[in-house]
Structure 1
Amino acid sequence: MPDHVLITGGAGFIGTRLARRFVDAGHTVTVLDSLLPQVHGDDPRTTSPLLRSLDGIATVIEGTVTSTDDLRAAIDGAQIVVHLAAETGTGQSMYEIDRYVEANVGGTAKLLDILTNESHSVKRLVIASSRSIYGEGAYRTVDGRTVYPAHRVDADMAARDFDVHERGEGPITMIPTDEQAKLHPSSVYGITKQMQESLVMTVAPTIGVESVALRYQNVYGPGQSLKNPYTGILSIFSTLIRQGKAINIFEDGLESRDFVYIDDVVESTFLASTLPSAGGHTINVGSGVATTVNEVVAALFAAFGSEVPTTITGNYRLGDIRHNVADLARLREVLEYEPQTDFRTGVGRFVEWVLSEPIEESGYERSLKEMAERSLLK
């Protein structure tokens, strides 16, 4: 049976594509979004292609999850809620702490308060969690044990030792992190995502609402903001390449992430929202492949067919992790889904889209200055 779906933060990169996926499957969609200028520009109705893509697709409510009245209006009639709304960006979270906590934790608390204390028709709540809650994730010792190392320290990185160490152990090797891993986020953003997930997965079952937590890895693809300097190195580097500006690579360029293509994220989220078997599960959503920053730059140069100067600076940001890659066994088992787009193919599609967009100032240099002034960028 068709459902009425509410997507909070639904005018963003993931939400707009997800809205179309639900509508294509016969569902009705309402979007609640604050239309932040950092993402949508100063006049979203004319400057945001993401918002315009919802025309004829979804009912859009301009509002915020920090307002009980806005949430109450958006929830009305919904059977499924996909809670995407959040402030994002590891670096910015370290100095805009109140804003991140208010939006991410406070907004989730308000949503759950309504579902707990007021009449509604919601039967499933999907929370967009994050790989950031793992901190450094899982590593294997030389004798085969799994450990979860502490965060890297400033003194080591200042000496250009960027590797992860575990006290009392020899060399350790990064392995895919599964959902049973220790949770120890290294940034304010990661802390707020852990709290969002914990709130939803604790409260929802007590009020008869099925809950699903999706731990997204690094999502990329067409539609990703080219204006927001606080998230998405593919967007940041692409803008620099088009401007002919040099790329400064932090650390030694060997730090890695699990980059997952937008279509795989959308399909995983749709399945998590609709499959009866998904209820109650926490699931990694990624590609299962670690890609270094150096490999990202090489892939972008190949896709653009042009290069700009690059410098491996040795700079580093406090709060950043070294590596993370997702174990996808539960994604395959519960959602019966296998990611479809490899990184090279995804980057090609992303760059093709980027080349169709105007070249805009991203504010990247300003964001670095803000972090340096607060001694978060070394």
Structure 2
Amino acid sequence: MDYSNKKILITGGIGFIGSNLARTLVNQGAEVTLVDSLTPQYGGNPFNIADIRDKVSVNICDVRDSYAMEYLLKGQDYLFNLAGQTSHMDSMSDPQTDLAINATAQLSILEACRKINPDIKIVFASTRQLYGKPDYLPVDETHPIRPVDVNGINKLAGEWYHLLYNNVYGIRACALRLTNTYGPGMRVKDARQTFLGIWIRLLLERKPIKVFGDGLQLRDFNYVDDCVDALLLAGASEQANGKVYNLGSTEVISLKDLAEKMISLGFGGNYELVPFPEERKAIDIGDYYSDFSLIASELGWSPKIDLDDGLDQTIQYYKSHSEQYWDFAN
């Protein structure tokens, strides 16, 4: 994974995963350009890159701006395509915006690559949400795809555009289906990006963590450093071209036990079981955890940060930097 002196464009680069990826690439000696709209509800926060601001180029623009993206894609060796609308609830209340960002803009980006930079390598951040309610566990890449919300449908379209352009036009692209990524830099103002963000905020504010339903729903989680490793491995691998890989973890935990684990780390707090809001219950997928054996066997990836360590590092980060995230309009 030698990215030294490579020109790299990261969409969503001031957001959670993008900023952590940028930091790793800067440390490898890459020439990094970050694209972010800093749209308030999508998670970008300038503090995420405060320590590397003088080592990256930043362009504040929207991936829906096809002219700007065409200009920015020129001469790049890699595109880590992480920008997206991540809120499942927002996708149901405003489906057209979700379509524009997660599908239409992706097609526009790929067309720009086809015209002006066909040699670029693209890694697209997809989501486990597109599988819908699992038929079996753990979920592998051959599982039927049945999105339960607009976000899942549009992310699937964005993913398949990338695979199509790989297969038809030879633009090297692959996709990673992420699952509950967490860590420093994630949105904590609300649950638009991940429910763990608001849980951490409630914990540190000494307010009850709200666990929906009976709390027995099973999930797996990836610390952001492990997600970054997977992105870099996929970018560096020619074997990955045209493929989709699940991320995931061997640690599977119920949401109730997760809340208890967070409280046990010594930061105080408590939790309470609350009824599912009807709008959330309608799109809940029940138990979910991934089979990530394909990326393990082909690219050598496996998560290294266990849940206890990852949660402790994440909570410590927000305890130290709460003023940069609590009231910031991200």
For the criterion TM > 0.5, the same-fold answer is: yes
Query: Could you tell me which amino acid in structure 2 is paired with residue 137 of structure 1?
Result: P
CA distance in 2, matches of 1:311, 1:194: 32
Deviations 1:351-372 (A, max 9, x none): 1112112262599xxxxxxxxx
Give how far 1:300 is off. 1.4
Q: 2:130 aligns with which of 133, 146, 149?
A: 133
Question: Is contact 1:16-1:54 (8 Å) kept?
Answer: no
Query: Could you tell me which amino acid in structure 1 is paired with residue 171 of structure 2?
Result: V
Q: How many residues align?
A: 322
Q: 2:98 aligns with which of 88, 97, 100?
A: 100
Give how far 1:277 is off. 2.5
CA distance in 2, matches of 1:211, 1:9: 18
CA distance in 1, matches of 2:134, 2:263: 30
Question: Is contact 1:212-1:281 (8 Å) kept?
Answer: yes
Q: Does 1:299 align with 2:261?
A: yes
Query: Could you tell me which amino acid in structure 1 is paired with residue 119 of structure 2?
Result: V
Q: Does 1:227 align with 2:189?
A: yes
- Which structure 1 residue ranges, 5 or more long, are not aligned? 140-174, 364-378
Q: Does 1:17 align with 2:39?
A: no
Is the alpha carbon distance of 1:57 and 1:256 closer, same or farther for their aligned partners in structure 2, counting shifts above 3 Å? farther
RMSD, aligned CA: 2.0
Give how far 1:234 is off. 1.6
Q: 2:117 aligns with which of 116, 120, 123?
A: 120
The two structures have a TM-score, normalised by structure 2, of: 0.91
Give how far 1:97 is off. 0.9
Q: Does 1:337 align with 2:311?
A: no
Query: Could you tell me which amino acid in structure 1 is paired with residue 98 of structure 2?
Result: Y
Q: 2:240 aligns with which of 278, 295, 314?
A: 278
Deviations 1:310-367 (A, max 9, x none): 234354512121011110111111111221011112111111112112262599xxxx
Question: Is contact 1:4-1:28 (8 Å) kept?
Answer: yes
Q: 2:150 aligns with which of 188, 192, 196?
A: 188
Is the alpha carbon distance of 1:55 and 1:123 closer, same or farther for their aligned partners in structure 2, counting shifts above 3 Å? same
Give how far 1:6 is off. 1.0
Q: 1:199 aligns with which of 161, 170, 187?
A: 161
Give how far 1:309 is off. 4.9
Query: Could you tell me which amino acid in structure 2 is paired with residue 287 of structure 1?
Result: S
Question: Is contact 2:186-2:197 (8 Å) kept?
Answer: yes
Between the aligned residues of both structures, percent identity stands at 28
CA distance in 1, matches of 2:30, 2:51: 17
What is residue 85 of structure 1 aligned with on the other side? 83
Q: 1:29 aligns with which of 17, 28, 32?
A: 32
Q: 1:262 aligns with which of 211, 214, 224?
A: 224
Q: Which runs of 4+ in 1 moved over 4 A?
A: none
Query: Could you tell me which amino acid in structure 2 is paired with residue 6 of structure 1?
Result: L
Is the alpha carbon distance of 1:304 and 1:89 closer, same or farther for their aligned partners in structure 2, counting shifts above 3 Å? farther
The two structures have a TM-score, normalised by structure 1, of: 0.80
Moved more, 344-353 or 244-253: 244-253
CA distance in 1, matches of 2:169, 2:51: 35
CA distance in 2, matches of 1:314, 1:224: 24
Give how far 1:9 is off. 1.0
What is residue 372 of structure 1 aligned with on the other side? none
Moved more, 298-307 or 10-19: 298-307
Is the alpha carbon distance of 1:361 and 1:244 closer, same or farther for their aligned partners in structure 2, counting shifts above 3 Å? farther
CA distance in 1, matches of 2:138, 2:8: 33
Query: Could you tell me which amino acid in structure 2 is paired with residue 58 of structure 1?
Result: V
Query: Could you tell me which amino acid in structure 2 is paired with residue 15 of structure 1?
Result: G
Give how far 1:27 is off. 2.1
CA distance in 1, matches of 2:200, 2:299: 33
- Higher helix fraction: Structure 1 or Structure 2? 2
- Which structure 2 residue ranges, 5 or more long, are not aligned? none
Query: Could you tell me which amino acid in structure 2 is paired with residue 63 of structure 1?
Result: C
Moved more, 261-270 or 222-231: 222-231
CA distance in 2, matches of 1:362, 1:291: 31
